């Protein structure tokens, strides 16, 4: 799909829908783990898997950030019709992500005990955490392959194929979860194995598809070589996107560590709440990524007026959708928590409902923040995304630790720190755009 042509909002939405559906299916990996583990293995296992999820989200964010940064470069090259530069960037990006994945694998296995200690894991959960992490870490290569080739295809305007492979692997993951956990009684290690197998199915599958159907872009011969300056360019741009994603999830891990200090009941509630959360605002997150690719292609093609109209339509659409989702979460919070844990666990459900109703009322703020991330990334200002992330997460972590120490607030202080962080980041990001709009879009230099 060429995003530089056609009706603006309609084109953006049609491109975004497969991305949204694909990532909703990807969330099914973790949600299937959580529901099945919570229902068949109990609150302790749910708490362990939930805590590990925050860590895996951080590791995945490193690879996702590098892939997203590379995808923006690919989109710019595609908009510029620079085929040779695009091929060289594809090769350089693959080499960079492969090296990072290898290093991550070495580090996480070598530092597993330290990781568990840093997460302030209660002693009764340490064994469960080790069992889960020992298996789940082996899926990093599958995560790398899927995210790299999904970003490549999306940057070229193909958001449908990644959806197909995720649909297959999500169904496989749920089936294997039930078999390994409920049927074979393999415990949390079985849940992790189901996820890893599914990740490799999607990763290897999309690799083969791209090789067969988009072979021209992977034809690295003749003048297309692995150039050092291309790797440096990809690294320079992707590093900031990676840093932004990592800071975002590092803040989540820091909050997870604080939550863990409140005990197993709160850990289990937070584990379920975070999964519901991620599922609820994932559409606006993916819409932000689709919006970023739209902006990048049009920025490369020098279509400034189209960019300006796209910005207005995207922000209005994201806010309206977020308000509707917030209403649904507020009303059905108890029912949603009941999917993850047996109704007899009344304290777990009560804590989870409180979290969802406070944090979930402000999804329009994080929807706006995702659009700002995508906007600045596409306009070749990834450093601004880092700044906004620091605003959001820095405030969240600081307030979470400060407010939770006040006896009259406790856990409620942690929950309120999240929307406050979103608000401050949104305010700064919008102010910066309004003040520097002409410079950011280079209106005097670019043609329509």
280 within 8 A of 360, measured Cβ to Cβ: yes
254 within 8 A of 261, measured Cβ to Cβ: no
User: Measured between alpha carbons, how far is 387 from 118 in angstroms, rounded to an integer?
Assistant: 25
End-to-end CA distance of the chain: 20
Cα four-point dihedral sign 209, 215, 216, 217: positive
User: Measured between alpha carbons, how far is 270 from 256 in angstroms, rounded to an integer?
Assistant: 8
Q: How far is CA 279 from CA 151, 353, 370, in A?
A: 20, 15, 15
User: Measured between alpha carbons, how far is 244 from 376 in angstroms, rounded to an integer?
Assistant: 12
Lookup result for tokens 């989540």:
252
Of all helices (H) and strands (E), which one includes residue 57? helix 43-80
The DSSP code for 184 is S
Cα four-point dihedral sign 196, 130, 23, 173: positive
Residue 444 has a pLDDT of 47
SS3 159: coil
User: Measured between alpha carbons, how far is 401 from 395 in angstroms, rounded to an integer?
Assistant: 10
CA dihedral 241, 242, 248, 249 (to 10 degrees): 160
Orientation of helix 43-80 relative to helix 228-260, angle to 10°: 150
User: Measured between alpha carbons, how far is 79 from 72 in angstroms, rounded to an integer?
Assistant: 11
Burial of 431 (0-12, 13-18, 19+ CB in 10 A): exposed
Residue 366 has a pLDDT of 92
Q: Quick one: tokens of 424? A: 């401050």
Task: Give every residue of the chain whose pLDDT is below 70, as ranges.
Answer: 1, 26-33, 54, 219-224, 244-246, 248-249, 442-448
Phi-psi region of 158 (alpha: psi -120 to 50; beta: other; left: phi over 0): beta
User: Measured between alpha carbons, how far is 209 from 394 in angstroms, rounded to an integer?
Assistant: 41
Phi-psi region of 345 (alpha: psi -120 to 50; beta: other; left: phi over 0): beta
142 within 8 A of 200, measured Cβ to Cβ: yes
Q: How far is CA 268 from CA 161, 256, 293, in A?
A: 35, 11, 37
pTM above 0.75, yes or no: no
Lookup result for tokens 């047996």:
342
Residue 221 has a pLDDT of 60
What pLDDT digit, counting tens, does each position of 15-61 carry? 888 878 877 776 666 666 677 877 788 777 877 777 777 677 778 87
b/e map 349-360, b = 16+ CB within 10 Å? bebbbbbbbbbb
Q: How far is CA 243 from CA 23, 69, 336, in A?
A: 21, 10, 33
Residue 331 has a pLDDT of 93
Residue 324 has a pLDDT of 94
């Amino acid at each position: 799909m060429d995003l530089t042509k056609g009706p603006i909002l309609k084109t953006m939405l049609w491109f975004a829908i497969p991305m949204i559906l694909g990532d909703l299916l990807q969330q099914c990996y973790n949600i299937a783990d959580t529901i099945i583990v919570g229902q068949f293995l109990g609150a302790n296992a749910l708490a362990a898997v939930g805590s590990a999820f925050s860590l895996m989200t951080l590791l995945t964010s490193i690879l996702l950030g590098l892939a997203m940064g590379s995808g923006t470069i690919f989109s710019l090259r595609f908009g510029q019709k620079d085929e040779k530069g695009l091929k060289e960037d594809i090769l350089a990006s693959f080499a960079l992500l492969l090296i990072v994945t290898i290093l991550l694998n070495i580090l996480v296995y070598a530092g597993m005990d330290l990781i568990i200690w840093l997460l302030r894991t209660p002693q009764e959960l340490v064994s469960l955490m080790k069992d889960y992490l020992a298996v789940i870490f082996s899926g990093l290569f599958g995560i790398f392959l899927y995210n790299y080739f999904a970003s490549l295809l999306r940057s070229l305007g193909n958001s449908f194929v990644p959806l197909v492979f995720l649909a297959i692997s999500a169904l496989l993951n749920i089936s294997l979860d039930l078999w390994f956990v409920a049927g074979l009684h393999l415990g949390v290690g079985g849940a992790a194995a189901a996820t890893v197998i599914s990740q490799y199915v999607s990763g290897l599958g999309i690799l083969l598809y791209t090789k067969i159907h988009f072979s021209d872009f992977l034809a690295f011969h003749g003048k297309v070589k692995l150039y050092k300056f291309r790797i440096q360019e990809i690294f320079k741009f992707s590093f900031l996107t990676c840093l932004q994603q990592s800071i975002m999830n590092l803040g989540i891990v820091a909050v997870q560590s604080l939550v863990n200090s409140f005990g197993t009941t709160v850990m289990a509630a937070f584990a379920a709440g975070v999964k519901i959360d991620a599922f609820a605002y994932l559409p606006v997150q993916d819409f932000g990524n689709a919006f970023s690719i739209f902006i990048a292609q049009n920025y490369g093609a020098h279509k400034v007026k189209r960019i300006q109209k796209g910005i207005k339509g995207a922000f209005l659409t994201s806010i309206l959708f977020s308000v509707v989702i917030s209403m649904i979460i507020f009303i059905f919070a108890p029912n949603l928590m009941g999917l993850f844990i047996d109704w007899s666990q009344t304290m777990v459900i009560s804590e989870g409902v409180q979290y969802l109703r406070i944090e979930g009322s402000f999804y329009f703020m994080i929807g706006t923040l995702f659009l700002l991330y995508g906007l600045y990334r596409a306009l070749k200002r990834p450093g601004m995304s880092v700044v906004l992330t620091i605003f959001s997460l820095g405030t969240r972590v600081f307030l979470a630790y400060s407010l939770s120490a006040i006896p009259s607030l406790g856990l409620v202080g942690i929950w309120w720190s999240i929307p406050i962080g979103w608000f401050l980041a949104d305010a700064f990001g919008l102010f910066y755009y309004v003040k520097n709009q002409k410079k950011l879009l280079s209106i005097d230099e670019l043609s329509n």
